[in-house]
């Protein structure tokens, strides 16, 4: 089925169809969040993905906290039946993703360009009021660049960029190494936006295809094979050129036994990669979801007695700043990492850190409004005491939120 508005000239203000990838068990949190933050409509989900329609701009879309990555939806349809057809027949069916409804692709590209143009215009306005001296690459940009490299390495392992047939490559690509380089944050983001905004016709677009196959499809076809056939079809249909190094446009395809989804990544850096977290501990999306369950309100006293690197407190303090936060841990190395995170996030004066055991908290009973914690487990970090006695100690202080107590987080 085609996604997005039918009017080829439609701008984001009229509403566009998006989807986000999300950790297992966090779909309800993201559904609630897109309704509240984006005033989204037509919100629905399948395992690992949430679909919605919104007219929000990029600055608002960036505020999503429980999502992993954000995509502009091109197509969402039933899965391909790979059991009763030949491989050649299956390749022909895959090409119908492009050939049967090229208008949906052109609509999505138009909306994607409009989003970038609006963002570029706002950036120009903000630069007029900024310091005229050229700004050096800041600490946050460095953090984002490091996270981008990590995400690119993970994407190469899980999805993989899909090279096209050699004959097509010779017609459309320069000779040399075709593997994409790991660009810096400024090269990827700023140059990518500039190229996309300056592209005035469909023939000037460059692209690459990233694929993920699972289920029966993955047993029959590799991601490289799927990417190859989709890439050839795009070049024939629209005249776009393949560029695996630094394309204007990236096409993401996920095929499995439940659905076939095609989209455009809106941001190169995943939403889950927080610029204000220097050293990652608990997954940022899970930390935010835990804080949201706690129903934190202004003026409260919130304690994480096993704070580790302080991820939960960081996510909470960013969302609910007018609260007194305290983090405690027995590990000096973890507290040092938490201190670095607080400095990077500019929250050193918002969160107090204590080196103390969870069973020796220097706080009277019922003095804390909310206790929220990701209880350590596993080989690297684990509790030496019985878990029940520690939970009882924490519960005696007051309202407790933990991964052990909430069904929503057990699958995450």
Q: Tell me the pLDDT tens digit for each residue of 287-315.
A: 999 999 999 999 999 999 989 999 999 99
Where does the pLDDT of residue 359 fall: very low under 50, low under 70, confident under 90, or very high at 90 and above? Answer: confident
Same domain for 248 and 389:
no
Q: CA 318, CA 332: separation in Å to the nearest integer?
A: 24
For residues 361 and 1, the model is more confident at 361
Judge whether 158 lies within some domain.
no
For residues 129 and 291, the model is more confident at 291
Judge whether 216 lies within some domain.
yes
Mean pLDDT of 68-85: 88
Judge whether 131 lies within some domain.
no
Last residue of a domain, one of 244, 273, 302: 273
Where does the pLDDT of residue 280 fall: very low under 50, low under 70, confident under 90, or very high at 90 and above? Answer: confident
DSSP annotation of 241 reads E
Same domain for 217 and 107:
yes
The first and second tokens of residue 220, run together, are 């029959």
At residue 255, the pLDDT reads: 93
Q: Comparing 18-32, 192-206, 283-297, 370-384, which segment has the lowest mean pLDDT? A: 192-206
Same domain for 330 and 210:
no
Same domain for 362 and 294:
yes
Same domain for 385 and 306:
yes
Closest by CA position to 316, among listed 303, 305, 333: 303
pTM of this structure: 0.74
Judge whether 402 lies within some domain.
no
Strand partners, 329: 355
Same domain for 325 and 261:
no
Judge whether 4 lies within some domain.
no
Per this entry, what is the length of the chain? Answer: 412
- Tell me phi and psi for residue 325, to 5 degrees: -110, 140
Same domain for 373 and 310:
yes
Judge whether 175 lies within some domain.
no
For residue 228, the domain's CATH number is 3.30.2130.30
Same domain for 328 and 297:
yes
Across the chain, what does the average pLDDT equal?
77
Where does the pLDDT of residue 390 fall: very low under 50, low under 70, confident under 90, or very high at 90 and above? Answer: low
Same domain for 334 and 268:
no
Judge whether 316 lies within some domain.
yes
SS3 255: strand
Judge whether 103 lies within some domain.
yes
What is the number of structural domains in the chain?
2
Instruction: Return the percentage of the chain with pLDDT > 70, whole number.
Output: 67
Where does the pLDDT of residue 358 fall: very low under 50, low under 70, confident under 90, or very high at 90 and above? Answer: confident
Mean pLDDT of 100-125: 83
Q: CA 204, CA 342: separation in Å to the nearest integer?
A: 45
188 pLDDT above the threshold of 90: no
Closest by CA position to 57, among listed 109, 14, 19, 13: 13
Mean pLDDT of 230-245: 92
The first and second tokens of residue 130, run together, are 């900024």
Closest by CA position to 209, among listed 156, 160, 261, 268: 160
What domain range includes position 384? 284-396
Q: Which strands sit side by side in the sheet containing 16-21, from one edge to the other?
A: 41-46, 49-54, 16-21, 69-77, 260-265, 249-255, 206-213, 241-242
């Amino acid at each position: 089925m085609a996604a997005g508005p039918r009017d080829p000239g439609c701008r984001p203000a009229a509403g566009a169809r998006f989807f986000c990838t999300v950790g297992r068990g966090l779909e309800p949190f993201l559904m609630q969040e897109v309704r509240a933050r984006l005033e989204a409509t037509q919100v629905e989900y399948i395992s690992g993905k949430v679909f919605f329609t919104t007219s929000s701009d990029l600055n608002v879309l960036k505020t999503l906290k429980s999502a992993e990555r954000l995509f502009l939806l091109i197509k969402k349809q039933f899965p391909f039946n790979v059991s009763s057809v030949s491989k050649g027949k299956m390749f022909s069916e895959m090409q119908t993703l492009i050939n049967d409804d090229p208008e949906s692709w052109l609509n999505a590209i138009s909306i994607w360009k409009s989003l970038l143009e609006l963002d570029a215009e706002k950036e120009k306005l903000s630069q007029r009021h900024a310091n005229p001296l050229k700004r050096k690459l800041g600490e946050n940009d460095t953090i984002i660049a490091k996270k981008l490299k990590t995400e690119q390495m993970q994407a190469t392992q899980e999805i993989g960029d899909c090279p096209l047939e050699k004959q097509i490559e010779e017609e459309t690509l320069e000779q040399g190494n075709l593997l994409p380089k790991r660009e810096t944050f400024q090269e990827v983001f700023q140059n990518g936006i500039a190229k996309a905004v300056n592209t005035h016709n469909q023939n000037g677009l460059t692209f690459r295809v990233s694929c993920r196959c699972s289920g029966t499809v993955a047993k029959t076809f590799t991601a490289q094979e799927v990417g190859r056939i989709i890439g050839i079809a795009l070049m024939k249909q629209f005249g776009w050129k393949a560029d695996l190094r630094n394309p204007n446009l990236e096409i993401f395809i996920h095929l499995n036994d439940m659905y076939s989804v095609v989209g455009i990544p809106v941001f190169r850096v995943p939403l889950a990669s927080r610029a204000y977290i220097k050293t990652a501990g608990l997954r940022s999306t899970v930390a935010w979801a835990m804080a949201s369950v706690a129903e934190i309100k202004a003026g409260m006293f919130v304690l994480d007695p096993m704070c580790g690197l302080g991820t939960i407190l960081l996510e909470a303090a960013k969302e609910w700043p007018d609260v007194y936060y305290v983090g405690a841990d027995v590990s000096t190395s973890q507290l040092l990492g938490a201190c670095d995170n607080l400095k990077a996030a500019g929250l050193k004066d918002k969160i107090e850190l204590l080196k103390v055991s969870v069973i020796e908290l220097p706080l009277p009973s019922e003095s804390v409004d909310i206790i929220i914690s990701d209880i350590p487990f596993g080989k690297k970090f684990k509790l030496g005491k019985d878990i029940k006695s520690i939970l009882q100690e924490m519960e005696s202080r007051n309202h407790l939120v933990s991964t052990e107590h909430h069904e929503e987080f057990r699958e995450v």
